[in-house]
Every structure is written in structure tokens, then in C-alpha cells.
Homo-oligomer: A and B are copies of this chain.
Amino acid sequence: MQVLSNYYNIKRNQKEEIDMDKLMQDANRFVSDIVDGLVLAHPNQYEKVEGLNVVKRKGGAIADKVGLVSGGGSGHEPAHAGYIGDGMLDAAVCGEVFTSPTPDMVLEGIKAADGGAGVLLVVKNYSGDVMNFDMAKDLAELEGIQVETVVVNDDISIQNEEDRRGVAGTVFVHKIAGAAAASGKSLDEVKQVADKVISRVRSMGMALSPCYMPESGKPGFELPDDEMWIGIGIHGEKGVERKAVAPVKDIAAQLVEHLTAEVTDKRIAVMVNGMGGTPVSELYLTYKYVSELLEQKGYEIVRPYVGNYMTALEMHGFSITLLPVDEELLQYLDASSKAIGFLV
């Protein structure tokens, strides 16, 4: 069954306007095709858990190392499977597009990551993810695996702190907790440093254009080409403010204003993250203004990261993440990583 060609044919017959542009084969296999491609392209690094969209380190868990598992809905590539690798994650659980994976899948991820020293789950703060990973934790504990969970909630677009979403800051949690685990820390210690990152990291994003759900062919939000959304999520959720497109410095200034209101420490790592459809050229261009604005406010950028790290399908836009760092966090940021999405 070729949902893609059907999709286009139906639309053409109905003389409907088609907005979606996607390289795909069959919407029902969209996620497994991505996962298969990733594993095929990195055969020495990744392995798929038979029959499931769960990716693990080739060769399995490392004995006596704390295992790191993340995941969530798909559509955020290279997150989360692209962060598997020595120094970062051990397994990633890939749900349907923008839909949390099920507990049985997460359980398989936990089993794949468990080397006897327990497993830390890095969960983004969405009801679905929290519930499914929670149920999986219960199941894993029944099987005698020690499991801890941290929940990332870095998106300051959301006023109410309890509802804050996990977005690009999650990648810093993967990197730092991954390095701590690789250095031989215990489950408690790894959880502690992950929570330290979570307590510090803040993000905010914007979009020039929406992303399209592969199955429905519909955009997450409507947006005229001359307008943009400020404060979007990574699932096609519209933002908190819609306004005319502006020069990137003005956009960056608005995001930086919000972020710096919450980040008082001045020594920071900065991530300018693309939303999937943003060319790296525009990300570097954006970084120029972001770094200028931050420096004007007295921040010292000790580690800059620019790239498509936590995306929303083909959405065109960016987010800024600020992470105040100390020597411990810096050391973990700089530690070696073989993950294809974050090579150090």
C-alpha cells in the first residue's frame, strides 16, 4: 500500500491544494523506514530490537555501566536514536510521529540498556511520555531492573512550570548524563547530574513554517508565509504569539529577552537548534546575532552548538537553549561521544 501516492492522487482528484512535500514511501511505515535507514547507514553502531522501533547500541548494554534510555514520539531526528553511542545513550524508543511509544516498547529499550548497574530514563515532559515511561518502569522493576527517571521541561514558552515541555535542552541532558554514566558514575549520581542540567537549562523556539503530519498530510498549524509563530513546540503545536516575519536579530532578541530573564548565571553553553527544515546556513547566520545579543547582556558563551538537534519533521525555524555551566558540566560536555548526532 502506498499511502503517499494515494495521498497525492486523492488530493489531485479532489482538486485540493497540496502543501505537504515529503520524501516518503508509505505513511504507515514512516517511522520504521526512518529507523531502518538509520540502522542501515550505521551498521557498526546501531541495531534494531527485532520487530520494534527500538534502537540499541550494537553489541548491547555495557556491563556495570548505568544504562541510558530516551525516546518519545518520532519526528525529532536525529533525536533520539541518533544520540545512541559511546558517551551518550544506550537505547532509544521511537514512538509513532509525535506520539509517545508504548510501555512494552520502552521496556525493551530498558532491557537493551541494562548492564546491571541500573537504567536512567530521560523523558520529555508530556503527559503521554511520562505515563508510558512510568508504566515501563514498573514493568522493568518487576523484572528486577533498577530504573530511575528524569523529566526534562526546558521550554519556557509555557507559563505554568508544571506544563513546560521538554525540547532541545534534552540533548544536553543526554550528553551530560551519558558522559557521567560512561565515566562510571552510579545510577544515583547520573540521575543527580541529569537533574542538575534540567534545573538549569532553558529553551524557546520559533517557526517560519509548519510541519506536516505524514498520515493526514495536514500542517500542525496554519501560518501565512509572511508571518511566524513565537514559542512553538516540537510537535507542530502553534506558538504563543503570531506576528509578521521580522529580521532574525529582532526574533532572536525576543527569545533572548525571555531566556535571560530566567538564566542569571553568565557562563553558558548555547545551542541554536534547527527545527528540521532549516538549512545550516541560516542556523549559523542566526547564531551570529544570538551570540552578539547574549554578549551584549554580559553572558560568556563557553560552548556554542549549532545544528539540527531536536527537530519537528520539516518545520522551518529555530530554538535557542541556554545552559549555565560549571566545571563538572563542561567536563561532561567535552567528553568523547560517538553518537552520530553529537560527535565529540
Chain B hits for A314, CB < 8 A: 277-279, 282, 316
For residue A247, CB closer than 8 A to chain B, the reply is yes
For residue A41, CB closer than 8 A to chain B, the reply is yes
Stretch at the interface among A24-32, A109-117, A119-127, A141-149: A24-32
Q: Known contacts A25-B248, A208-B23; is A280 also within 8 Å of B304 by CB? A: no
Chain B hits for A317, CB < 8 A: 23
Chain B hits for A224, CB < 8 A: 18
For residue A291, CB closer than 8 A to chain B, the reply is yes
Stretch at the interface among A3-11, A60-68, A83-91, A173-181: A3-11
> By the criterion CB–CB under 8 Å, are B5 and A279 in contact?
no
CB-contact partner of A41 in B282, B306, B343, under 8 A? B306
What copy number does this chain have within its complex?
Answer: 2
Main secondary structure of the interface of A (DSSP, over half): mixed
Give A306 to B77 CA distance when docked, in angstroms: 13
Chain B hits for A77, CB < 8 A: 279-281, 284
Enumerate 29 A-B pairs (CB-CB under 8 Å) in ascending A order. Answer: A4-B248, A8-B245, A17-B225, A18-B226, A20-B225, A21-B209, A21-B316, A23-B251, A23-B286, A24-B248, A24-B285, A25-B249, A25-B285, A25-B289, A33-B288, A40-B304, A41-B291, A43-B304, A74-B281, A75-B281, A77-B279, A82-B280, A276-B279, A276-B280, A277-B314, A279-B308, A279-B311, A280-B308, A314-B316
